[in-house]
Amino acid sequence: MKPTLLVLAAGMGSRYGGLKQLDGLGPNGETIMDYSIYDAIRAGFGKVVFVIRHTFENDFREKIIPKYDKSIDVEVVFQELDSLPAGFKAPADRVKPWGTNHAIMMGEKAINEPFAVINADDFYGKESFQILADALNSMAGTKNNYCMVGYRLGNTLSESGHVSRGVCQTDANKKLTTVVEHYEVQRKNDTVIFKDQESGEYKTIDENLPVSMNMWGFTPDYFEHSNKDFKEFLQANADNIKAEYGIPTMVNKLIQSNTATIKVLDTPCKWFGVTYQEDRPSVVAKIHQLIQSGIYPSKLF
């Protein structure tokens, strides 16, 4: 059975100011997400499941899905504030969604095979999808053995300003032990630096360290762990209207309790995205370069 790609796109409407403004960066108006799905198809994924919101469902079905439906099976699932287990209710004044791991949970009924998780608006690169597809194929029929694609820190920086990055620490077997958030990461004079939160000083950091860019590989038993843990999260955060149930929250618990392992897969790819508006021309140029070098056709779908 081919692996599935789960695309976290529920924040799309608000982040882009509505789908009508979904940013076309390729020569025929292709979005970053189009390149990810093209890469997933050629890496051997058999289905794409989009996590979206009901507020832009009609736009999404009209403008986005028709591009892909001749190339790969497509399903849509929904993440809403009230997508909660029985007996739980969202606080009346909560506005923010519940986070990325809650978004993953919405895919449970649509996914019965090993699956990848990506953000809709990050460019991950051809080789990353192949590396992840190969890992997912080897995970079929297993439980509690997950993976993530670890990007080399220096390949994930913005040319327009500093970024935050989750730096991965691993054991001798390349298994993830923890993810430590680093802030104000940037390149200065051929060196990568970050701001130490305790001292307030800038320190150098090895640009080859792996970082998480939210590209994960799981088997369906991950849903069981998440369903159980999410109830505990909701009980613990009943009064916290800003609490987010992110993927690192769940992953760290599974690692620390020795319930599951996460293998960190190295990729040579350069990640990019529009972190700052000033990044846009550079992203357009990088895509043009990839087309010129024959990695992508000028028209994807």
Q: How many domains does the chain have?
A: 1
For the record, the structure tokens of 25 come out as 């960066």
pTM, to two decimals: 0.93
192 domain residue, yes or no = no
Locate all alpha helices (DSSP H) within the chain, ordered by sequence: 12-15, 32-43, 57-63, 100-105, 126-139, 221-236, 247-256, 280-292
Q: In tens digits, what is the pLDDT along the chain, a chain of 301 residues? A: 899 999 999 887 666 666 765 788 999 999 999 999 999 999 999 999 999 999 899 989 998 999 998 999 999 999 988 888 888 787 778 877 888 999 999 999 999 999 999 999 899 999 999 999 999 999 999 999 999 999 999 999 988 889 999 999 999 999 999 988 899 999 998 899 999 988 999 999 999 999 999 999 999 999 999 999 989 988 888 777 788 888 988 999 999 999 999 999 999 999 988 877 888 899 999 999 999 999 999 999 9
198 domain residue, yes or no = no
**Residue 85: domain span:** 4-149+212-253+262-292
124 domain residue, yes or no = yes
194 domain residue, yes or no = no
User: Of the candidates 66, 55, 64, which has an alpha carbon nearest to the alpha carbon of residue 17?
Assistant: 55
244 domain residue, yes or no = yes
Q: What distances in angstroms separate CA 57 from CA 53, 61, 63, 219, 222, one per listed residue?
A: 6, 6, 10, 27, 26
Residue 133 and residue 22 in contact, taking contact as beta carbons nearer than 8 Å:
no
56 domain residue, yes or no = yes
193 domain residue, yes or no = no
Bridge partners (DSSP) listed for residue 89: none
CA distance 200 to 184: 11
CATH number at 142 reads: 3.90.550.10
231 domain residue, yes or no = yes
